[in-house]
């Protein structure tokens, strides 16, 4: 189950053994259930689980646990950023860079440089091209100049940056979290601003700031202006970043763009059951719902499924008991449907719980909360940069109870 | 990579490098393969191609990552520390930090590189040099680190200052004796105005001196204002620190509200006498209390942290949330709920921590999270630990209005596949039912339905919960009890069976017909049951015997007989007990009469409580809170003070950055200990002498306020302990499964109620008086205090011990019967000098005669030993004390004195210097026993070594006390550390028994105090020996004038200057004695000097010829200041220590 154990202690050393952790791991039935904080007689182990790797840090004295967890996630993010994936092989292949990175990120157990663009200036990420060039010219991966960002108050941006094309893109991505229980629903939405560009100053205006219930900002946003004028004013970082995230509270009615009809039942004493799921769009403001995937965790007693789908394809994993139904685009004319029979283990009692359906979908060009970026102005540059705003609505943790 | 083929080729030809090791007889065959394996790496590191070095370093780092030991490559790697290639350099740093602690001597070689780096014009290089230097955990460089930190703390670049702040905890962890000096640095850095530094220095503050809250006063407003621009990790640290600070400096914003709030609580707990008593002082204090006005600084903190709730960093959000929870007025705490709920969308680990904290908060402030109830709904995909925490929160939030939705939600959960979660849900339903009377029946019915669930675990858990609920109102529910009695046939989970049996026994009068039948069945299966079930069977039997002896007498006898021979002694004991208690015999005592009372007393229902109750006495968001135990290094969150300390301490003279200039600027008070600062009613102008009074007043007040509570607390504590014991016994007698509380009810009515009362009283008090919350708190804080005290006393005693150690040593050293030459020389010297300055020298003469026994040079060596070179100490202790070298020393001092008369005659100097050898301290190189009759001693003759001026001359004296002749005495196979060279002495062909021979050999120690290891070979044997120089012997005297000295000293300031304060002992008050002692400690020459009480000495290091200048300045009294200027900081620091030692009494 566990591919590798990656132990990082506070001073940035790595070592590969930690009995207490293994013990806790064995005890937990599921990888997700390993407690993030483990207390041992002399140390405290704080771990996170990302992409099949445990990042474990060893703590000796009192420290806010979130501080460590947040940092470990930042480390994982950095690896992801550098190696494209945060897998065991990637890390093993790049042990030296991992060491160099950790050396920069931690000083005596205290986070030092965690901003990805500073790190990239210090240690260039490996690419095939660069390794070829390095082997020919003998140059190294290490930045020759020392980073300037660390010295300034805006560590997310390098001091002098020049690009050939000037563009700023904003993606407004809203995710709908919902639990649908016949009628009741809980809804959140979240936006991720993904900016790609380099103006020295930008201001974004949002049509209806009162909509936003709770907002969290990238440190680049000038909070004072938001407070007073409800305007987002910021010096954007290089590369992709999350500008703000917000929640639209469940008090505001959130339109759920899809509906599901389902009949999942098991017959008493007959080791078979019925499975019938239909999914359809509700009101979608003229946009199509695409990328629909339905996953269902079936009860343990289920042996096999015998289904036919009118659209898309389905797979059933008999070990994990998971059905994945890749529906694709929903057209209102012909509603996708998946139905058939369920084979249960002979003699096993009827499962009591009906499984819940997890649904993923995507709607392009729509922010379901009605949020719009009204204006995007840039200052401090003479040229006229290219600006673009894209809206996507996605399903977040979207669950339908049956 | 291009490097790999090259490496392959080299490996083929690597035979050349090998023989060096192959021939070494000591290394043997076993290790040779090891050497071979790393040889290629060494060669690559030695090459001048950066790419090869890089490749080698990469492989070494990969080795470390795989957990292999790469420490034997240390010398080869360290050489590259000065490499130009930045990547190689970085990797060398990684390596160095990892291994320096193991290989301290070698690590010292790299230090000069870092020292150079510290002076680099580029701030980033300065910073990184300091970073690595401070990461090398070698105790000997502590003074260097200290200096470097001090220097960097006043660097122009904020980035370097930030690095200095980072280095502080590192140095502290290496040597906690530096605390005072470090606090000075912290104080300095705290006043820094840049955001870059703030976070790091507060982190250092928290690690080094969190108790010195007084350092924060002046910087408080600045920190508040800078906060939003500090980097996120720093924000977390600062916010946590400010929370603690605010708790000591401001008044509780909720004091009035909390008083109002209490009343309903009290009413709830009903008419207890204690309560009435408690009320009076409270009411009194309410009257006394002024209307609360929030301190503007308190408001400043709250205002400036609020925006950080929007941070993207979960740790920052949590930090602000806990700050608000602990500091904000009740009405304002609500703002944090939103942000915390937002964090629930984050990674599951973050969720876990946040939910733990939300669970605690939701007990205290339920209303805060109620609007977000739905955010805590559980998804089937959540990990179990998250589900259980969410359940906890939902349960805490349940109240009469929302209970129906919550219960509906719970219904869904009960059907989950995750059985642990289902069990937790059932518990949660039980808790809701106890807390909210309205839904008790609904819950109970629901749970009873669950009894027919197919899953046994669900049923078992329900039984346990139902049992607890039924205890509240048993009479109405005989139907349920009957239903449960029927379940005994099916349920196998022991806990559930035990619960059912207990219920039937307890309420057997409600089910008079079924109970004996159940007992019959259980008696049948008794032997096969689990222990807890057996115990309950015995309980059931006893209770039935008492109520319905007709039907159950025989059954009881039977069960008791079975239990008598049970394997478990608890069961046997219980059976014996009960038999004595209930079956009337002649012997059975008085208790028999009360058996019925004992067993069938009314037992109070258990209280189902959240496990998060009262966790808020730990600072939220902390590790201790999460674990619910005090973690190492946890700083207790202090209670609010009763009286606000003087707010004017936070005033700063130039409040350019503050907005709250409106506050009247009072004159700054200079560093008052803040505990004694109490504003009182009369304000800050109050005279100082009234302060202690007010303190004591407040203390006494708090004492009286809590006196009743603490009194009762301690009472209850002791009683609790007592009652615990008693109840233990009684439980055995009573078989009351539900624990001690019930057991009490029989003996006296007062007793149990008292206990209960106390418990509730405690609860009540906690709510009433948050400031006196938990006697445990104050207790532990006291504890902490005492701990720190004891530790300080420990350290005191430690230093004392050291002193005492050194004292006898000095006493032991025989005050040498000053050899005849000495007084003569002294007299001569004094005579000549006294011509110049009579007054001064008469004194010195007298002193010099009586007390100034010249110290033997053993001290510096011993000192080195302490510093981690154990060989030296060993040798010193074994060496016999030598008669001291007074004549020579005096004569050299004389020379310098003559120099003072500007008689700079080198020939005179050399002639006078030459006789030093005879009297210099000798060290043993080889003991007679170890050398089989051959004993070898050596001494540093302080003469120039003629063949090579860069070598230190070492006189070696052989004496043969064996029977046989020793032939072919020579040096062979030196195994020297890099940089050290050795000039062998000519072979001694033979040494007859009883003969002695002396030779001179030269060793270039490369300006380090590392030992030169070599072997002495004779025709038959080899002996491993090593010579280790005291730092003073690495020098050669240099003669210079005062002006030259000052000029050179001017060049060697800053990092190269090491200053130390010392106190001169009585016997060192004279000039002569001082000069003498310094000259014994080090091979230096005195520089003439016009000023009184200033002594200057100059020397250069033997190998590199860098200047070493010593200045000793006597201040008034016995105080003096020693300054050593040298480029070689290691030498400088060690020399300072040696000289200080030499001048110590």
User: Best residue in A41, A64, A94 to probe B by mutation, most B CBs within 10 Å?
Assistant: A64
Q: Find the mean pLDDT for residues B1094-1120.
A: 83
pLDDT at site B707: 38
Closest chain A C-alpha to B417 CA, distance in angstroms: 7
Highest mean pLDDT among B44-48, B404-408, B754-758, B862-866: B404-408
- Residue B17: pLDDT band (50, 70, 90) is very low
Q: Find the mean pLDDT for residues A167-189.
A: 67
- Per-residue pLDDT reduced to its tens digit, A115-149: 777 777 777 777 665 555 555 555 555 554 555 54
**Interchain pair A142, B383: CB under 8 A:** no
Classified as helix, coil or strand, A270 is coil
Cα(A250)–Cα(B372) distance, rounded to whole angstroms?
A: 9
Flag whether residue B131 sits within 8 Å of chain A, measured between CB atoms.
yes
Burial level of A319, CB count in 10 A (0-12/13-18/19+)? exposed
Query: Hey, how many other C-beta atoms are within 10 angstroms of the C-beta on B790?
Result: 11
> Which residue intervals of B100-155 are DSSP H helices?
104-118, 123-135, 142-153
Does residue B831 carry a pLDDT above 60? no
Classified as helix, coil or strand, A169 is strand
Asked if B443 and B469 touch (Cβ cutoff 8 Å), the reply is yes
Cα(B266)–Cα(B263) distance, rounded to whole angstroms?
A: 5
Q: Which residues of B touch A218 (CB under 8 A)?
A: 312
Q: What is the CATH number of domain A2-137?
A: 3.30.450.60
Domain layout of chain A by residue ranges: 2-137, 167-254+366-400, 258-364
**Interchain pair B381, A297: CB under 8 A:** yes
Radius of gyration of the CA atoms of chain A, in A: 25
**Interchain pair A110, B349: CB under 8 A:** no
- Per-residue pLDDT reduced to its tens digit, A234-269: 776 666 677 777 776 655 556 677 888 888 887 776
Does residue B864 carry a pLDDT above 60? no
Flag whether residue B654 sits within 8 Å of chain A, measured between CB atoms.
no
Find, among B1107, B1111, B1083, the residue nearest to B1097 by Cα. B1111
Q: How many CB pairs under 8 A join A and B?
A: 227
**CATH homologous superfamily for A258-364?**
Mu homology domain, subdomain B (2.60.40.1170)
Q: Which residues of B touch A146 (CB under 8 A)?
A: 122, 124-125
Burial level of B127, CB count in 10 A (0-12/13-18/19+)? buried
ipTM: 0.82
Token pair in block for residue A330: 């929903």
Cα(B597)–Cα(B579) distance, rounded to whole angstroms?
A: 16
Cα(A291)–Cα(A327) distance, rounded to whole angstroms?
A: 7
Give the residue, B51 or B693, on which the prediction is more confident. Answer: B51
Q: What is the CATH number of domain A167-254+366-400?
A: 2.60.40.1170
Closest chain B C-alpha to A384 CA, distance in angstroms: 30
Token pair in block for residue B347: 């990674």
Closest chain B C-alpha to A148 CA, distance in angstroms: 9
- Per-residue pLDDT reduced to its tens digit, B310-320: 888 899 999 99
pLDDT at site B4: 38
B739-749: buried (b, 16+ CB within 10 Å) or exposed (e) per residue?
ebbbbbbbeee
Flag whether residue B456 sits within 8 Å of chain A, measured between CB atoms.
no
- Per-residue pLDDT reduced to its tens digit, B177-224: 888 889 999 999 988 888 888 888 998 998 888 888 888 888 888 889
Q: Which residues of A touch B383 (CB under 8 A)?
A: 30, 32-33
Nearest-by-Cβ selection for A95 from B65, B412, B635: B65
- Residue B495: pLDDT band (50, 70, 90) is confident
Cα(B892)–Cα(B1083) distance, rounded to whole angstroms?
A: 10
Flag whether residue B1019 sits within 8 Å of chain A, measured between CB atoms.
no
**Interchain pair A150, B415: CB under 8 A:** no
Sign of the C-alpha dihedral, residues A139, A140, A145, A149?
positive
Closest chain A C-alpha to B319 CA, distance in angstroms: 8
Flag whether residue B381 sits within 8 Å of chain A, measured between CB atoms.
yes
% of chain B beyond a pLDDT of 90: 4
Cα(B156)–Cα(B164) distance, rounded to whole angstroms?
A: 12
Asked if B397 and B422 touch (Cβ cutoff 8 Å), the reply is no
End-to-end Cα, chain A, rounded Å: 30
Burial level of B900, CB count in 10 A (0-12/13-18/19+)? middle
Nearest-by-Cβ selection for A401 from B124, B339, B412: B412
The DSSP call for residue A31 is G
- Per-residue pLDDT reduced to its tens digit, B376-390: 888 888 888 899 999
Residue in B closest to A185 by C-alpha: B374
User: Best residue in B239, B356, B623, B632 to probe A by mutation, most A CBs within 10 Å?
Assistant: B623
Q: Which residues of A touch B51 (CB under 8 A)?
A: 138
Residue in B closest to A95 by C-alpha: B62
Find, among B389, B337, B400, B339, the residue nearest to B364 by Cα. B337
Find, among B582, B546, B575, the residue nearest to B558 by Cα. B575
Where on the phi/psi map is residue B774: left (φ > 0), alpha (ψ -120 to 50), or beta? left
Flag whether residue B93 sits within 8 Å of chain A, measured between CB atoms.
yes
Place of tokens 């014991």: B725
Residues 6+ apart with CB under 8 A from A273: A264, A265, A266, A267, A302, A341, A342, A344
- Per-residue pLDDT reduced to its tens digit, B1034-1051: 888 888 888 888 888 888
The partner residues of B1110 in beta bridges, in order of sequence, read B1097, B1124
Closest chain B C-alpha to A142 CA, distance in angstroms: 5
- Per-residue pLDDT reduced to its tens digit, A272-294: 788 888 888 876 567 788 888 98
Token pair in block for residue A229: 């004028």
Closest chain A C-alpha to B169 CA, distance in angstroms: 8
Q: Find the mean pLDDT for residues B410-421.
A: 83
Asked if B443 and B410 touch (Cβ cutoff 8 Å), the reply is no
Cα(B737)–Cα(B649) distance, rounded to whole angstroms?
A: 59
Does residue B597 carry a pLDDT above 50? yes
Does residue B1088 carry a pLDDT above 70? yes
Token pair in block for residue B1065: 């002992």
The DSSP call for residue B962 is S
Give the residue, B360 or B1072, on which the prediction is more confident. Answer: B360
**Interchain pair B62, A214: CB under 8 A:** no
- Per-residue pLDDT reduced to its tens digit, A307-353: 888 888 888 888 878 888 888 888 777 888 888 888 877 766 677 66
- Per-residue pLDDT reduced to its tens digit, A20-32: 555 555 555 566 6
Q: Where are the beta strands (DSSP E) in B873-965?
A: 922-926, 934-944, 952-960
Give the residue, B91 or A380, on which the prediction is more confident. Answer: B91
Query: Hey, how many other C-beta atoms are within 10 angstroms of the C-beta on B59?
Result: 18
- Per-residue pLDDT reduced to its tens digit, A29-83: 566 677 888 877 777 878 888 777 778 887 778 888 888 888 888 888 888 888 8
**Interchain pair B375, A250: CB under 8 A:** yes
**Interchain pair A188, B412: CB under 8 A:** no
**Interchain pair B384, A112: CB under 8 A:** no
pLDDT at site B481: 81
Q: Which residues of A touch B229 (CB under 8 A)?
A: 153
Sign of the C-alpha dihedral, residues A149, A151, A156, A161?
negative
Place of tokens 């009360």: B594
**Interchain pair A216, B310: CB under 8 A:** yes
Q: Find the mean pLDDT for residues B356-369.
A: 87
Residue numbers of B between 50 and 69 with CB closer than 8 Å to A: 50-51, 54, 58, 61-62, 64-65, 67
Q: Find the mean pLDDT for residues B688-702.
A: 39
Task: Name the helix (H) or strand (E) containing B916.
Answer: helix B916-919
**Interchain pair B203, A177: CB under 8 A:** no
| pLDDT-wise least confident of A205-219, B478-492, B623-637 | A205-219
Closest chain A C-alpha to B171 CA, distance in angstroms: 11
Residue numbers of B between 239 and 268 with CB closer than 8 Å to A: 240
Token pair in block for residue B551: 């039907």
Sign of the C-alpha dihedral, residues B190, B195, B197, B199?
positive
| Topology agreement, domain A167-254+366-400 and domain A258-364 | yes
Token pair in block for residue A104: 């920069």
**Interchain pair B347, A69: CB under 8 A:** yes
Closest chain B C-alpha to A293 CA, distance in angstroms: 16
Give the residue, B551 or B452, on which the prediction is more confident. Answer: B551
Residues 6+ apart with CB under 8 A from B856: B813, B881, B882, B884, B885, B921, B1080
Phi, psi angles (nearest 5°) of residue B365: -130, 80
Strand-strand pairing, B1012-1017 and B1022-1027: antiparallel
**Interchain pair B62, A73: CB under 8 A:** no
| pLDDT-wise least confident of B284-293, B504-513, B532-541, B927-936 | B284-293
The partner residues of A176 in beta bridges, in order of sequence, read A189, A395
User: Best residue in A9, A12, A45, A70 to probe B by mutation, most B CBs within 10 Å?
Assistant: A70
Flag whether residue B635 sits within 8 Å of chain A, measured between CB atoms.
yes
């Amino acid at each position: 189950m566990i591919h590798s154990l990656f132990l990082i202690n506070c001073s940035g050393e790595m070592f590969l053994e930690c009995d207490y952790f293994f013990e806790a791991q064995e005890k937990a039935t599921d990888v997700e259930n390993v407690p993030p904080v483990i207390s041992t007689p002399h140390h405290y182990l704080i771990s996170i689980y990302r992409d099949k790797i445990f990042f474990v840090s060893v703590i000796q004295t009192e420290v806010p646990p979130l501080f460590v967890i947040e940092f470990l996630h930042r480390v994982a993010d950095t690896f992801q950023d550098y190696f494209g994936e945060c897998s065991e092989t990637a890390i093993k292949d790049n042990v030296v860079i991992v060491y160099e990175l950790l050396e920069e990120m931690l000083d005596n157990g205290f986070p030092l440089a965690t901003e990805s663009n500073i790190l990239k200036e210090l240690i260039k990420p490996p690419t095939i091209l660069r390794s070829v060039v390095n082997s020919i010219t003998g140059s190294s991966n290490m930045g020759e100049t020392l980073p300037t960002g660390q010295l300034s108050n805006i560590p997310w941006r390098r001091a002098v940056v020049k690009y050939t094309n000037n563009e700023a893109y904003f993606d407004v991505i809203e995710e709908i979290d919902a639990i649908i229980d016949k009628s009741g629903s809980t809804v959140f939405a979240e936006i991720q601003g993904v900016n790609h560009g380099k103006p020295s100053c930008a201001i974004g205006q949002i049509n209806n700031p009162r909509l936003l219930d709770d907002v969290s900002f990238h440190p680049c946003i000038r909070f004072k202006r938001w407070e007073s004028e409800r305007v987002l004013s910021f010096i954007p970082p290089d590369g992709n970043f999350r500008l703000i995230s917000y929640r639209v509270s469940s008090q505001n009615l959130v339109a759920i763009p899809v509906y599901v009809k389902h009949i999942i039942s098991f017959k008493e004493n007959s080791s078979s059951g019925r499975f019938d799921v239909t999914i359809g769009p509700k009101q979608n403001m003229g946009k199509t719902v695409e990328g629909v995937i339905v996953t269902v965790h079936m009860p343990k007693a289920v042996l096999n499924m015998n289904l036919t789908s009118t659209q898309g394809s389905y797979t059933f994993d008999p070990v994990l008991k998971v059905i994945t139904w890749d529906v694709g685009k929903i057209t209102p004319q012909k509603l996708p449907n998946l139905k058939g029979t369920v084979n249960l283990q002979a003699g096993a009692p009827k499962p009591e719980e009906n499984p819940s359906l997890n649904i993923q979908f995507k709607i392009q060009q729509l922010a379901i909360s009605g949020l719009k970026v009204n204006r995007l102005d840039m200052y401090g540059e003479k040229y006229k940069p290219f600006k673009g705003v894209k809206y996507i609505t996605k399903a977040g943790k979207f669950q339908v109870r049956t | 990579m291009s490097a790999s083929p090259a490496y392959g080729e080299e490996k083929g030809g690597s035979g050349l490098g090998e023989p060096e090791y192959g021939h070494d007889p000591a290394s043997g065959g076993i290790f040779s393969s090891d050497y071979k394996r790393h040889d290629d790496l060494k060669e690559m590191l030695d090459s001048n191609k950066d790419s090869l070095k890089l490749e080698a370093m990469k492989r070494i780092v990969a080795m470390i990552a795989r957990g292999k030991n790469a420490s034997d490559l240390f010398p080869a790697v360290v050489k590259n520390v000065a490499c130009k290639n930045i990547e190689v350099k970085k990797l060398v740093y990684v390596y160095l930090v990892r291994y320096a602690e193991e290989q301290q001597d070698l690590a010292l070689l790299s230090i000069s590189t870092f020292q150079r780096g510290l002076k680099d014009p580029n701030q980033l290089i300065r910073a990184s040099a300091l970073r690595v230097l401070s990461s090398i955990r070698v105790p000997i460089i502590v003074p260097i680190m200290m200096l470097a930190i001090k220097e960097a703390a006043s660097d122009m670049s904020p980035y370097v200052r930030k690095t200095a702040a980072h280095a502080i905890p590192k140095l502290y962890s290496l040597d906690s004796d530096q605390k005072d000096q470090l606090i000075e640095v912290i104080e300095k850095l705290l006043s820094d105005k840049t955001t870059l530094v703030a976070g790091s220095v507060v982190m250092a503050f928290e690690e080094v001196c969190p108790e010195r809250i007084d350092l924060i006063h002046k910087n408080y407003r600045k920190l508040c204002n800078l906060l939003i621009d500090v980097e996120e990790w720093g924000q977390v640290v600062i916010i946590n620190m400010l929370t603690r600070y605010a708790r000591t400096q401001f008044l509780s914003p909720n004091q009035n509200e909390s008083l109002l709030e209490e009343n309903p609580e009290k009413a709830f707990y009903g008419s207890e006498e204690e309560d009435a008593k408690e009320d009076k002082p409270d009411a009194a204090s309410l009257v006394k209390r002024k209307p609360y006005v929030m301190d503007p600084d308190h408001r400043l903190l709250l205002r400036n942290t609020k925006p950080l709730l929007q941070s993207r960093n979960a740790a920052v959000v949590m930090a602000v949330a806990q700050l608000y929870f602990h500091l904000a007025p009740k009405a304002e705490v609500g703002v944090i709920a939103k942000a915390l709920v937002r964090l629930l969308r984050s990674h599951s680990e973050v969720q876990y921590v946040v939910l733990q904290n939300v669970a605690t908060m939701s007990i205290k402030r339920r209303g805060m999270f109620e609007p977000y109830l739905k955010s805590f709904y559980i998804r089937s995909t959540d990990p179990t630990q998250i589900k259980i925490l969410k359940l906890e929160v939902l349960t805490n939030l349940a109240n009469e209005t929302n209970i129906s939705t919550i219960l509906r939600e719970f219904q869904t959960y009960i059907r989950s596949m995750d059985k642990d979660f289902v069990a937790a849900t059932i518990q949660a339903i039980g808790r809701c039912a106890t807390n909210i009377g309205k839904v008790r029946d609904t819950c109970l019915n629901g749970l009873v339905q669950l009894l027919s669930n197919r899953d046994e675990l669900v049923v078992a858990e329900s039984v346990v919960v139902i049992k607890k609920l039924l205890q509240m109102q048993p009479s109405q529910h005989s139907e349920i009890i009957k239903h449960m009695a029927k379940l005994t046939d099916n349920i196998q989970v022991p806990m559930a069976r035990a619960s059912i049996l207990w219920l039937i026994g307890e309420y057997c009068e409600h089910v008079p017909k079924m109970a004996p039948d159940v007992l019959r069945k259980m008696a049948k299966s008794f032997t096969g049951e689990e222990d807890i079930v057996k115990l309950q069977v015995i309980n059931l039997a006893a209770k039935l015997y008492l109520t319905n002896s007709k039907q159950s007498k025989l059954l009881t006898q039977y069960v008791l007989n079975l239990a008598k021979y049970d394997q478990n002694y608890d069961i046997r004991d219980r059976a014996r007990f009960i038999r004595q208690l209930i079956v009337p015999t002649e012997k059975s005592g008085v208790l028999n009469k009360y058996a019925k009372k004992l067993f069938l007393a009314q037992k109070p229902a258990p209280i189902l409580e959240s496990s998060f109750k009262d966790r808020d006495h730990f600072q939220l968001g902390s590790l201790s809170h999460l674990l619910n135990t005090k973690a190492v290094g946890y700083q207790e969150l202090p209670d609010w003070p009763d009286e606000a300390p003087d707010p004017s301490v936070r005033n700063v003279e130039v409040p350019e950055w503050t907005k709250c200039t409106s506050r009247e600027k009072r004159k700054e008070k200079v560093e008052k200990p803040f505990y004694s600062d109490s504003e009182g009613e009369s304000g800050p102008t109050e005279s100082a002498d009234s302060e202690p009074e007010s303190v004591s007043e407040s203390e006494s007040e708090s004492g009286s306020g809590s006196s009743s509570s603490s009194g009762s607390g301690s009472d209850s504590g002791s009683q609790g302990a007592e009652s615990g014991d008693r109840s233990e016994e009684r439980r055995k007698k009573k078989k009351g499964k539900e624990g001690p509380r019930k057991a009490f009810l029989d003996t006296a009515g007062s007793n149990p109620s008292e206990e209960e009362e106390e418990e509730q009283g405690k609860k009540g008090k906690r709510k009433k008086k948050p400031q006196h919350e938990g006697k445990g708190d104050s207790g532990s804080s006291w504890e902490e205090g005492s701990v720190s005290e004891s530790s300080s006393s420990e350290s005191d005693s430690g230093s004392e011990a050291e002193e005492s150690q050194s004292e006898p040593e000095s006493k032991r050293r025989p005050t040498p019967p000053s050899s005849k030459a000495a007084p003569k020389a002294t007299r001569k010297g004094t005579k000549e000098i006294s011509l110049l300055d009579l007054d001064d020298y008469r004194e010195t003469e007298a002193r010099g005669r009586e007390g100034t026994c010249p110290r033997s040079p053993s001290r510096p060596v011993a000192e080195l030993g302490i510093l981690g070179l154990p060989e030296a100490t060993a040798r010193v202790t074994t060496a016999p004390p030598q008669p001291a070298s007074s004549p020579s020393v005096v004569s050299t001092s004389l020379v310098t004195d003559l120099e003072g008369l500007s008689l700079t005659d080198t020939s005179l100097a050399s002639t006078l210097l030459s006789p030093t050898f005879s009297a210099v301290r000798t060290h043993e190189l080889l003991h007679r026993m170890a050398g089989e009759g051959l004993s070898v001693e050596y001494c540093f003759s302080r003469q120039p070594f003629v063949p090579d001026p860069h070598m230190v001359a070492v006189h070696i004296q052989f004496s043969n006390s064996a029977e046989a002749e020793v032939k072919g005495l020579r040096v062979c196979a030196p195994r020297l550390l890099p940089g050290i060279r050795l000039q062998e002495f000519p072979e001694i062909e033979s040494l007859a028994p009883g003969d002695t021979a002396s030779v001179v050999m030269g060793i270039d120690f490369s300006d380090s105090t590392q030992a030169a290891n070599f072997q002495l070979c004779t025709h038959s044997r080899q002996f491993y020996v090593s010579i280790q120089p005291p730092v003073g012997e690495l020098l050669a005297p240099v003669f210079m004038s005062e002006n030259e000295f000052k000029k050179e000293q001017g060049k060697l300031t800053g990092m190269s200057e090491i200053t130390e304060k010392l106190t001169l002992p009585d016997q060192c008050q004279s000039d002569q004695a001082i000069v003498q002692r310094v000259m014994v400690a080090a091979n230096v020459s005195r520089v003439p000097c016009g000023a009184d009480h200033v002594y200057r000495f100059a020397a250069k290091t033997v190998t590199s010829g860098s200047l070493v200048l010593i200045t000793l300045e006597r201040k008034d009294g016995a105080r003096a200041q020693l300054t050593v200027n040298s480029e070689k900081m290691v030498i400088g620091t060690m020399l300072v220590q040696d000289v200080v030692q030499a001048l110590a009494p």
